[in-house]
């Protein structure tokens, strides 16, 4: 990035090179790791922020500071994500890794949301729920985005040319190509199933049989297509979703354990309490 500031950081496992640029409407950074052993490090989010995260080479694993899994990204993929204020961690295996991320100002995204309709419900989720993080589908970096990234990262200052305006156009194109990739991916069956689970997890009648009928598929196809995309079965995803929402409700003190079970799709308090303790290792009452 010819226009960016750069910093080299020597650590005991190798070298980190950061190039970064602060536009008045977004922040952009490219980071390269060249490490000879595995690296685990923490990073602090001072404010809730929306990212377009782009893994150019290598792979990275993100998790909360307490070890809870967030996401894994491998080379040549991108996805939109957000983190709330707090301490997080990442892990990199030995080798070379390059990543890039764009943090648009929330006001700019909100103002231009009509151009990125798939981001709108995600922004609503970021503004309304209590979850510490969230992310949209991971998509391959296709030719259109690759060309836009090359322009964004390779711009040079030219006399009588407005560099900031050019960078803003380039960043919009990158977001636009992610929007196209997400549109294509979310129209596929696994994402339609996940969307159905996300919208209806409060219903105690939601089962594999209900999903099979809604999508006119066999149970084998339901489980295999969903697990191939998300690494988890629909049933276990539903349990995970219900448990995470229940924990957030309890921690926020907006509902008591005897009220929460009804809000997250359980038929009775006993079955909810058993599942909660099995999932977290402690009863719902310990969240109060």
Q: In terms of Cα–Cα distance, which of 44, 40, 30, 83 is closest to 61?
A: 40
Q: How many domains does the chain have?
A: 2
> Does residue 20 carry a pLDDT above 90?
yes
Determine the Cα–Cα distance for residues 181 and 172; give it in Å rounded to an integer: 14
pLDDT, residue 125, reads 81
89 Cβ neighbours under 8 A, 6+ residues apart: 40, 41, 42, 43, 62, 63, 64, 65
Q: In terms of Cα–Cα distance, which of 109, 229, 124 is closest to 176?
A: 109
Average pLDDT, the chain: 91
Q: Are residues 165 and 51 in the same domain?
A: yes
For residues 94-102, average pLDDT: 96
Determine the Cα–Cα distance for residues 200 and 245; give it in Å rounded to an integer: 13
For residues 144-154, average pLDDT: 95
Percent of the chain with pLDDT over 90: 66
> Does residue 56 carry a pLDDT above 90?
yes
> Does residue 126 carry a pLDDT above 90?
no
Q: Are residues 228 and 130 in the same domain?
A: no
Determine the Cα–Cα distance for residues 224 and 226; give it in Å rounded to an integer: 6
Q: Report the C-alpha dihedral over residues 267, 273, 274, 278, rounded to 10 degrees.
A: 130
Q: What is the pTM of this model?
A: 0.78
pLDDT, residue 255, reads 80
Least confident of 69-83, 112-126, 228-242, 259-273: 112-126
282 Cβ neighbours under 8 A, 6+ residues apart: none
Q: In terms of Cα–Cα distance, which of 144, 162, 118 is closest to 24?
A: 162
φ, ψ of residue 91 to 5 degrees: the values are -130, 135
> Does residue 288 carry a pLDDT above 70?
no
pLDDT, residue 115, reads 84
For residues 127-144, average pLDDT: 85
Q: Are residues 178 and 247 in the same domain?
A: no
Q: Are residues 181 and 221 in the same domain?
A: no
Reported as half-sphere exposure (CB side, CA atoms, 13 A), residue 264 has a value of: 26
User: What CATH number should be reported for the domain holding residue 147?
Assistant: 2.60.120.10
> Does residue 165 carry a pLDDT above 70?
yes
> Does residue 113 carry a pLDDT above 90?
no
Q: Which structural domain range is residue 130 located in?
A: 5-187
pLDDT, residue 234, reads 95
Is residue 194 a part of any domain in this protein?
no
> Does residue 114 carry a pLDDT above 90?
no
Percent of the chain with pLDDT over 70: 99
Which of 126, 159, 187 terminates a domain? The answer is 187
pLDDT, residue 5, reads 96
Q: Are residues 103 and 44 in the same domain?
A: yes
For residues 28-38, average pLDDT: 97
Q: Are residues 149 and 220 in the same domain?
A: no
Which of 187, 219, 251 terminates a domain? The answer is 187
215 Cβ neighbours under 8 A, 6+ residues apart: 189, 192, 193, 222
Reported as half-sphere exposure (CB side, CA atoms, 13 A), residue 178 has a value of: 26
């Amino acid at each position: 990035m010819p226009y960016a500031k750069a910093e080299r950081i020597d650590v005991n496992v190798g070298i980190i090179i950061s190039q970064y640029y602060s536009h008045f409407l977004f922040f952009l950074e490219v980071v390269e790791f060249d490490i000879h052993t595995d690296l685990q490090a923490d990073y602090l989010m001072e404010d809730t922020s929306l990212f377009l995260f782009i893994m150019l080479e290598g792979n990275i694993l993100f998790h909360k500071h307490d070890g809870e899994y967030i996401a894994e990204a491998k080379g040549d993929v991108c996805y939109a994500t957000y983190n709330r204020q707090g301490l997080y961690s990442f892990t990199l295996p030995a080798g070379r890794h390059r990543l890039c991320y764009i943090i648009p100002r929330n006001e700019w995204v909100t103002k231009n949301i009509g151009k990125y309709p798939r981001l709108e419900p995600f922004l609503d989720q970021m503004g309304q729920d209590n979850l510490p993080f969230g992310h949209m589908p991971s998509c391959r970096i296709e030719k259109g985005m690759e060309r836009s990234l090359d322009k964004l990262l390779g711009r040079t200052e030219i006399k009588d040319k407005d560099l900031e305006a050019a960078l803003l156009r380039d960043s919009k194109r990158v977001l636009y190509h992610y929007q196209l990739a997400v549109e294509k991916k979310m129209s596929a069956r696994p994402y339609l199933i996940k969307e159905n689970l996300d919208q209806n997890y409060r219903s105690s009648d939601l089962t594999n049989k209900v999903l099979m009928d809604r999508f006119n598929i066999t149970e084998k196809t339901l489980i295999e297509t969903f697990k191939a995309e998300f690494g988890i079965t629909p049933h276990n995803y539903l349990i995970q979703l219900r448990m995470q929402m229940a924990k957030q409700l309890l921690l926020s003190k907006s509902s008591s354990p005897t009220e929460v079970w009804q809000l997250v799709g359980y038929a009775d308090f006993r079955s909810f309490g058993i599942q909660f303790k099995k999932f977290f290792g402690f009863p719902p009452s310990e969240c109060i």
